[in-house]
Amino acid sequence: MSADIAFIPRSYLFVPGDRPERFGKAFGAGADAVVVDLEDAVAPDRKDAARAALAAWRAAGQERGGRLVVRVNDDASPWFADDLDMLRTLGPCEVMLPKAESARQLERLAAALPAGTGVIALIESARGVLAAEAVAAAPGVARLAFGTLDYALDLGLDDDPRGLLYPASRIALASRAAGLPPPVAGVTAGFNDDAALREDFGLARACGFGAKLCVHPRQVAPVHAMLAPSAEQRDWAARVVAAAGAGGGAVQVDGKMVDRPVLVRANAILARGPA
């Protein structure tokens, strides 16, 4: 299913669903989307309170800027049905489904949600990676995301990032083949570790990812900066577009021919804009 989205988020900032006092701060942190988490960040005995807090906060109209994403509990959990009941009355938002492993899961979810609700399918397991193509093509799916920490746990991986190259590439290929935006990279747990953030997202970018899940507001600006083209890239792109627009047959920039793929890349760089 192709995603029809005017603006494609670069950053998704998590906030615990049972901490409504943090919702406003999260929306004011500059992230393109805020993920109110009803799953991992909320203890089992706090699930009801988290749903009630989100519903009350939304009803009070306190949302300012960014887009709301709700990460529900997985569809095999005892809390999933109640999450869906709350979403039917919450109003417009996107939904993040953890442990996405089959198209059938997404079909059932799309049927249970208000029409037009976009779903971010969070792939976190070997089963999910092997089903990435079917998940990406399922009804209602707007984007894929890669839950790297849970995936590493599922496969018993250590800290060697090479273990994430194949699944990340497969998720990116599945997204592209389904006409979805580039997928969303997993979290970097050490929110004070800028080097780890750059390394994690650099690997994801090399595989074709175009956004990142963030666990702290201070991660948002570096993620945006890493997605923005450099001054040198923008200068090159501007010269390519100008040369192509001048016409006159074959065109060269910096001693290289400007053919259609080069022009498309140059326009894409200019469209990304600064951080």
71 is in an annotated binding site: yes
Q: Is the dihedral of CA 4, 35, 224, 22 positive or negative?
A: positive
10 Å CB burial of residue 246 (0-12, 13-18, 19+) is: exposed
Cβ(270)–Cβ(235) below 8 Å: no
101 known member of a binding site: no
Which are the contacts of 143, defined by CB distance < 8 A and separation ≥ 6?
3, 118, 120, 121, 175, 180, 181, 183, 184, 211
Q: Known binder of ligand: residue 150?
A: yes
Cβ neighbour number for residue 116 with a 10 Å cutoff: 8
Task: Find, among 61, 53, 121, the residue nearest to 92 by Cα.
Answer: 61
Q: How many angstroms separate the first and last alpha carbons of the chain?
A: 29
CB proximity list for 99: less than 8 A, separation 6 or greater = 74, 75, 76, 122, 124, 125, 128, 150
Closest CA to 11 of 30, 37, 36: 30
One-letter identity of residue 20: P
**How many angstroms separate the CA atoms of 158 and 152, rounded?**
7
d(Cα 204, Cα 1) in Å, to the nearest integer?
23
Binding-site positions: 71, 124, 150
Binding-site positions for Mg(2+): 124, 150
Binding-site positions for substrate: 71, 124
